Structure 1
């Protein structure tokens, strides 16, 4: 079937060539319609075959379309209405330009036109996609179309060879859909052959990487960084998840390199990011895969962006919120947890953002742990026992003790009032959950457990 189709295309193309020569001999007074030119050829000849095939061509709607200027009194009403909508010529603008015999034409485009419009009429979306793919392949030498690529329009399309009928056509999405249909086995052999002739790459892994890289490049251009949150998407592509997987692959590659440097065996590099792909991401944003959490890097970038726009450094929670990040809360957390930051993070915060660690006076009072609270109440109980000689504390009794400020040796002592009566009752009722050491301590100062 493929050989027969190729013969028909070649014959039709040859026929059109002969029709061009015939029109040249007839001169400018000859009518340029395909019908009249076909009548001048011998039946069964290549030119006659081309004319017949052109007359049999069908638009996506399934109605026969005459390529000449016909339309007499015997024309059906549907045909007259179609001609009224499409114009007296009965063909689209690009097709009319292609069929002008006085202008040079691309043989590949002419063959594609005959195949898609005459021999194997296709759906309009498919025809537009193939037409765009042919032009893209001619310009770039391959069909590795980025996922976000759309046919240029307006001034961007001038002088590039893109017809106005394809303006803003989503060629990247179209090729991605074609690969999915191919993977599911839902694409016909004719369409597969058409795309393979243009250099289509069916490899899922290579194409998936190219699509993700294109989406990451678009997201970075829009946001100024490549630290997308997990739910981030660009033109429908889940770039956040793609970047998360890429970072995991990059860290695996680093682990393998570390093992190799230590002389440990490296069995397989499966799942590791190649150096070439890592460089591709670093060309977009060098900080795409930091050693610290991505959330930290994103908050750092947003704070820096806020300062570059003339804002002041937020220091309290709720001062500045950008893209869902509370920058004031983040800055305060860095100041309080300065010792937990790496040396590089400390330098970035101090020299780029102007963040400094908190002083002793600014640090909040440390929270009293449960163990410290129990120790203070035990001290109050012991003080009561030494003063009263027993531990029969009234339920509402409050004992006052003196402790050093914040538990430090150099702090001034301060008085604390503790509800000792309630505490003793609680210890008695919770005796089953107390440790043996605490039971022994309370028993030593006269605790009655029943």
Structure 2
């Protein structure tokens, strides 16, 4: 005899509550209703968490577009609701931890930062620096302008974790010297990386370009005594670490003796030559 589907978790307990509740006992009825609502909400949350887990395993991140549906589940809307609940202090610590385990980023600003950081990391893989020109793009994102904005004074106020994340990718992402200098240095460092990290092991002549930059011409200029003296200690340390040293200054030509140093004898001879009468023919 078929007696139906076996009760799920919590269903048997809810039936017992209803069975033993007096018809006019509002407290028992309220407990039964509350139990079922809470239990259903927990199951619904767990199902959507599982959908998010599937998304993360497939996409590699928890950045679900707002309009995305995972099957019939409006997953993007659900994720946005979780962020709102977290911001309002309406989420339990256990749920927050479970979402964080999947890589949930609570702040929309943090979410955008993580997306741009991934693009910046892709740029670094190709150029060995985060001092990208403003026009630079990576992963279809304007990383050059984004990084330039972050280098502005006060741009990272209130977000020390952003600064830490950028420095983890490139400690010189915001140098005290010009970003253009850092780009040329990074290109030189990339060039000599396969030569035991020493610029002296490879001939870099003017006209040798990397990523469209004339690294040979730039290197020759850095090595001149005049320019070398204007570099900061940090710039010189970085160049010296890859074997770049300044060229020796050219020896000064000996100065010609001035008239003040001509001996009295020489002056006398010169004067005699000027006053000696010409020989008669």
TM-score, length basis structure 1: 0.35
| CA distance in structure 1 between the aligned counterparts of 2:256 and 2:116, rounded to whole angstroms | 59
Distance 1:412 1:136 in 2: 86
Q: Is the 8 A contact 2:223 2:244 kept in 1?
A: no
The separation in 1 between residues aligned to 2:213 and 2:109, in whole angstroms, is 34
- CA drift at 1:334: 0.5
The residue aligned with 2:79 is 195
Aligned-partner Cα distance in 1 for 2:80–2:244: 57
The separation in 2 between residues aligned to 1:291 and 1:350, in whole angstroms, is: 18
Partner Cα separation in structure 2 for residue 332 and residue 224 of structure 1: 21
Tell me the residue number matched to 2:192. Answer: 307
1-side partners of 2:45 and 2:254: how far apart? 90
Is the contact made by 1:338 and 1:346 (CA closer than 8 Å) also made in structure 2? yes
Residue 20 to residue 293, structure 1, CA distance change in 2 (3 Å): farther
Counterparts of 2:75 and 2:204 in 1: how far apart (Å)?
Answer: 61
CA distance 1:195–1:278, shift in 2 (3 Å): closer
Matched, 1:233 2:117: no
How many residues align? The count is 191
2:176 aligned with 1:294, yes or no? no
**Which of 285, 293, 297 is matched with 2:170 structurally?**
285
Provide the C-alpha distance between the structure 1 equivalents of 2:238 and 2:79, rounded to a whole number of angstroms: 50
The 5-angstrom pairing of residues 387-402 of structure 1 reads none
Cα distance in 2, alignment partners of residues 197 and 316 from structure 1: 59
Deviation at 1:20, TM superposition (A): 4.8
In the superposition, relative to structure 1, how do residues 293 and 110 fare at CA in structure 2: closer, same or farther (>3 Å)?
closer
Structure 2 gap ranges (5+):
8-41, 69-73, 85-104, 259-281
Distance (whole Å) between structure 2 residues aligned to residue 247 and residue 108 of structure 1 = 44
Q: For the structure 1 residues 286 and 195, does the alpha-carbon distance in structure 2 shift closer, same or farther, using more than 3 Å as the test?
A: same
Do the aligned residues in 2 keep the contact of 1:315 with 1:328 (CA within 8 Å)?
yes
- Residue 151 of structure 1 is matched in structure 2 by 59
Distance 1:317 1:292 in 2: 23
| Alpha carbons 2:151, 2:174 under 8 Å: kept | yes
Alignment of 1:142-291 (within 5 A): 151=59, 172=63, 174-175=64-65, 178=66, 194-199=78-83, 204-248=108-152, 252-253=153-154, 272=157, 274-291=159-176
1:332 maps to: 220
- Check 1:306–1:412 CA distance in 2 against 1; reply closer, same or farther (3 A cut): farther
Q: Deviations over 1:277-311 (max 9, x none)?
A: 21121122212111111111121122122122127
**2:234 alignment counterpart:** 344
Q: Does structure 2 conserve the Cα–Cα contact (< 8 Å) formed by 1:230 and 1:240?
A: yes
CA distance in 1, matches of 2:129, 2:235: 18
Compute the displacement of 1:107 (Å): 4.5
> What TM-score, normalized to structure 2?
0.53
Match of 1:322? 210
Does the CA contact (< 8 Å) of 1:314 and 1:331 recur in 2? no
Cα distance in 2 for residues equivalent to 1:295 and 1:282: 18
Q: CA RMSD in A?
A: 4.2
In 1, the alpha carbon distance for the partners of 2:4 and 2:230 equals: 82
Structure possessing the higher relative contact order (Cα contacts under 8 Å, 6 or more residues apart)? 2
TM-superposed CA distance for 1:356, in Å, is 1.4
Q: For residues 240 and 193 of structure 1, do their structure 2 counterparts lie closer, same or farther at Cα, with a shift above 3 Å needed? A: closer
1:236–1:131 Cα change, 3 Å: farther
What is the match of residue 245 of structure 2?
A: 355
Distance change (3 Å), C-alpha of 1:353 and 1:305: farther
How many angstroms apart in 1 are the aligned matches of 2:147 and 2:140? Answer: 15
